[in-house]
Amino acid sequence: MSELEPDTPHVPAPSLWPIGFAIGIACLLVGLVVSQAALVIGLVLALVFGVLWVRDLRGSRPAAAPAPAKPLVATEADLGATTDRATFLSLATVGVGGLIGAGVTLPVLGFGVLPSFVGDSVKSEEVDLGPISNFPEGEYVIATYLEDPEVGEVTRRTAFVRNNGRTEDGAPSFTTIYSRCVHLGCPVQPNGPIDEEAMKEVNGVQLRPVLAASFGCPCHGGLYDSEGNRSAGPPVRSLDRYEFSIRNGNLILGRLFSVGGVDGAGAKARISKYYRAYPGVHVDGIEKWFYPIPTPGSTG
């Protein structure tokens, strides 16, 4: 350093871009759990503030002094890097942040995008429960069937089916409840006597009449009313249901969907239908923002 110049190192001017970049990364990570909107906002903020940060650092570098005459022998400065330490650390921070963001984001995008190209990842075989005459109006019937007969008993599933008669527009109405508790997935039992002597078997489907006033989970005390609404215990929503259709006079069960709640009963019930969610996951209200994005292949 010369006597005319102060012996002080050049330090980049204070900047708000690193703070904006950090906020963007935080929004991006939170968006992976909360919502796609927060994910997009975080990604945009991280990219914009990251670019501004790098540009600010590069623009704040001091002007190069006239190069002195090179000595005959190469010095350490001739062999050193041209990037000063502060710029290198800043660029390294941006690079590491980008790698972390890519490591977190790419797997999620893979799970979200790949099913569109490789097909539905959730099995949704239809089940023929036989003629609708096997379901007396106003009474529940326990229907058990094998979801995959080739695999065997481990795929046995249970549905609680009630014939509600017809809706106001004349369409057949059925309540088709899945028997898994929405707390942790334990099997739910009907609270009422089962008529084992009246059991029928149609196309491999066993049908048992039951006087079910409600449904209960013996594992953790979850209780549901006759429409599948949560009455007590740890469950976070109503019992899941099946889509259904009538084909050639037979009742056909389709895909499962989750239910936020049911207003009314029977043919006059109004169902809050949502994508198929895992047990323990909220599908409506403020709580739903604290749970992951719907699983690929689930119903909408």
Range of the domain at 65: 17-113
Q: Is 266 part of any domain? A: yes
The C-alpha atoms of residue 120 and residue 296 are separated, in whole angstroms, by: 8
Q: Is 146 part of any domain? A: yes
Question: Is residue 49 located within the same domain as residue 75?
Answer: yes
Burial class for 212, CB neighbours closer than 10 Å (0-12, 13-18, 19+)? buried
pLDDT tens across 135-178, in order?
999 999 999 998 888 888 888 899 999 999 988 888 899 999 99
Question: Is residue 186 located within the same domain as residue 210?
Answer: yes
Average pLDDT for 41-58: 82
Question: Is residue 185 located within the same domain as residue 255?
Answer: yes
Q: What is the pTM of this model?
A: 0.58
Question: Is residue 160 located within the same domain as residue 97?
Answer: no
In the chain, the number of structural domains is: 2
pLDDT tens across 50-80, in order?
888 788 777 665 555 555 655 555 455 544 4
**What is the model's pLDDT at position 49?**
84
Return the percentage of the chain with pLDDT > 70, whole number: 71
Question: Is residue 64 located within the same domain as residue 148?
Answer: no
Q: Is the pLDDT of residue 110 over 70?
A: no
Question: Is residue 69 located within the same domain as residue 138?
Answer: no
Q: Is the pLDDT of residue 82 over 60?
A: no
User: Encoding tokens for residue 180?
Assistant: 């898994």
Band of the pLDDT at 23, cuts 50, 70, 90? confident
Question: Is residue 210 located within the same domain as residue 283?
Answer: yes
241 or 86, which is more confident? 241
Question: Is residue 184 located within the same domain as residue 63?
Answer: no
Question: Is residue 181 located within the same domain as residue 262?
Answer: yes
Q: Is 8 part of any domain? A: no
The C-alpha atoms of residue 203 and residue 130 are separated, in whole angstroms, by: 7
Q: Is 300 part of any domain? A: no
**What is the model's pLDDT at position 181?**
94
Question: Is residue 76 located within the same domain as residue 134?
Answer: no
Q: Is the pLDDT of residue 190 over 70?
A: yes
Q: Is 299 part of any domain? A: no
**What is the model's pLDDT at position 109?**
60
Longest dimension (CA), the chain: 108
The H-or-E segment that residue 14 falls in is: none
**What is the model's pLDDT at position 67?**
56
DSSP 180: B
Question: Is residue 133 located within the same domain as residue 211?
Answer: yes
The C-alpha atoms of residue 90 and residue 246 are separated, in whole angstroms, by: 65
The C-alpha atoms of residue 104 and residue 96 are separated, in whole angstroms, by: 12
- Show which of 90, 113, 136 is a domain's final residue: 113
- Show which of 81, 113, 145 is a domain's final residue: 113
Question: Is residue 79 located within the same domain as residue 133?
Answer: no
- Show which of 78, 113, 148 is a domain's final residue: 113
**What is the model's pLDDT at position 45?**
86
CA 239-242-247 angle, to 5 degrees, is 155
Average pLDDT for 45-49: 86
How many residues does the structure list for the chain?
A: 300
Among candidate residues 88, 80, 98, the one with its CA nearest the CA of residue 28: 98
- Checking phi first, is residue 204 left (phi over 0); if not, alpha (psi -120 to 50) or beta? left
Q: Is 12 part of any domain? A: no
Q: Is 9 part of any domain? A: no
Band of the pLDDT at 300, cuts 50, 70, 90? very low
